[in-house]
Every structure is written in C-alpha cells, then in structure tokens.
Structure 1
C-alpha cells in the first residue's frame, strides 16, 4: 500500500478524472493477473500484496467515481456490485474463514490511485484496529 507521502502527492498530482494506472490496466497497456471479470468490474492481484490474498476490484467505467466520497445516487448499482463481486471472489479464493475489504479515500485515507477500488485482503489473521 502507498505511504502517506505517496498518497498526498497522488491527491494533488492529477485532476479527479485524469487517466490512472487502472485505466492502463483496463486497456491492457499494463499487464495484470486477472482473477475475475464481468461487464461492470475487473479484479486482479495487487503487485505489492499486503496479505497472502490481495486483490483489487475496480469498476470498468469510472463515471466520476474517483473516490467513495465522490459517489452520487447514480453510482449505487456499481457500489453494490463491487461488494457482491468481493464476496464471489472471496469464495473463489477459498477465504471461508473471513476476509477484509478496504476502500481508501483521499489523502488522509492513504488513497494513491484516484479511480475507486476495493482491496480484498485475506489468507491471514487481520488485526484490529486496522491502521
């Protein structure tokens, strides 16, 4: 995951709807290891995993959804679909004992890519408090 400094720099570097690394992944310009895909979302393994299972789930169409705090009424369907997709992937990955979902929001939330995404973490005991 990004450091606080990296997240702060990312927050001021680009306008909210600027193309991100996730856009390049969706266009297959940057390789990724896919674990799930449907017409609304794409899920792939994180290249810097923070747990034995660390998968990123992203909407295929950003539609202004650079971060959760920017969500509008029109985003309700994709937000629900991201959560349901996480459940499907967790089962597919054998995470019957549990898992954690994380959505970082803004610089203080340590968000480093401004394209809404869900981190699915599992395969080890998670600690509390998380951060």
Structure 2
C-alpha cells in the first residue's frame, strides 16, 4: 500500500482510501482525483468523487482549486453514464456537496456525491 501524500490528513478516512490504505470499490483514478462507490448507496448509482489533496470542505475552497473542481464536474457525466445512469433528459443524475455540520457533511474531506438511476431513491 502506498503512503498518503504529505498534504493528506493522517486521520482522514478519504485520504486513506485515496492512498489505497483503506479498501474501496474504485470507479476512477488519476493524479488528482479518486472516485469510488458509496458504502451506503441511496440509489442504484451512488459514487463519491474526491480530490486526492486533503481539502476539508467547500468552505476551504479557493481560486487555486478552480481547475481541480472544474475537472471533477466535467468528469462526472461520463462516469455517471458508465455506472448506469440513464441518458438525459429522461434519465440523469444528481450531484451533491454537503458542507459543514449544518450542511450534513459527515466526513470532513471535500467530496461530491453523484447519485442516479431509476427512482424512487432511498433519500433525496
């Protein structure tokens, strides 16, 4: 198993997943982004997109993160289709970013939920 990057948080479960120290069902990976299936899916398709760099939440995002977030947003539609989301406009998917306790964030590492597939879903 590889070691987390120097900018990772030692006690962050998502940093450990991105580093391969904690098992996950990987969907996609490149130098900056790791994508994996949610362990408690709300819908037939439910995966998480995370930056490998530890960013605690959207509240910590600055202009230096614009390229990374743009890449994540642009990557999502293709991955959603590959994972089984039906095509737009009848099909589709939802992208959710929870921020902070009042925003419903449970893991304090920026992550985007991509959720789709035939309804009804468990949540949302």
Give the shorter-chain TM-score range.
0.7 to 0.9
Which aligned runs of 4 or more in structure 1 are off by greater than 4 angstroms? none
Structure number with greater CO (CA < 8 Å, separation at least 6) is 1
Match of 2:27 among 7, 30, 35: 35
Give the Å deviation of 1:92: 1.2
TM-score by length of structure 1 reads 0.77
Given that 2:34 and 2:50 are in contact with CA atoms closer than 8 Å, whether structure 1 keeps it comes out as yes
Give the Å deviation of 1:126: 6.5
Q: How many residues align?
A: 110
Please give the alpha-carbon distance, in whole angstroms, between the structure 2 residues aligned to 1:47 and 1:116: 17
Tell me what 1:74 maps to.
Answer: 64
Please give the alpha-carbon distance, in whole angstroms, between the structure 2 residues aligned to 1:22 and 1:94: 24
Map 1:53-64 → 2, pairs under 5 A: 53-62=45-54
Q: Does 1:107 align with 2:101?
A: yes
Please give the alpha-carbon distance, in whole angstroms, between the structure 2 residues aligned to 1:126 and 1:83: 24
The 1:110–1:98 alpha-carbon spacing in structure 2 relative to 1, beyond 3 Å, is same
Give the secondary-structure state (helix, strand or coil) at the position aligned to 1:44: strand
The 1:28–1:99 alpha-carbon spacing in structure 2 relative to 1, beyond 3 Å, is same
Structure (1/2) with the larger helix percentage: 1
Given that 1:100 and 1:126 are in contact with CA atoms closer than 8 Å, whether structure 2 keeps it comes out as no
The Cα RMSD (Å) is 1.7
Structure 1 unpaired stretches of 5+: 1-16
Match of 2:42 among 50, 69, 92: 50
Map 1:8-19 → 2, pairs under 5 A: 19=11
Q: Does 1:25 align with 2:25?
A: no
